[in-house]
Structure 1
Amino acid sequence: QRSNFMNIGIIVIIAIIVIIGIYIAATYNKLIKSRNTVDEAFSTMDVYLKKRWDLIPNIVSTVKGYAKHEAETLEKVIAARNNGYSSLNTQQKLQANAELGTAIKSLNVVAEQYPDLKANHNFMDLSAQLKKTEEDIANARKYYNAVVKQYNNLTQMFPSSIVASMFRFEKRDMFIVEDTAQREAVKVEF
Structure 2
Amino acid sequence: MLLAQKRFKLMKASTVPSTNCISRKNNLGLRERDPFLLFDKKTKELVKMEDTPDEVLARKRAPTTILTPKSIINHKYGNKAVYKTEVIQASTQNVCPGLAIPQQGPSLFRCCLELPELSVTSELFARKKDAEQAAAKMAIEKLGVPSKSNNPTIHEAWNELVGRVSYLFSDEVGCLPFL
TM-score normalised by L of structure 2: 0.25
Flag the structure with larger Rg.
2
* Structure (1 or 2) with the greater helix fraction: 1
TM score, norm. by length of structure 1: 0.24
Greater relative contact order (CA < 8 Å, ≥ 6 in sequence): 1
- Bigger fraction of residues in strand: 2
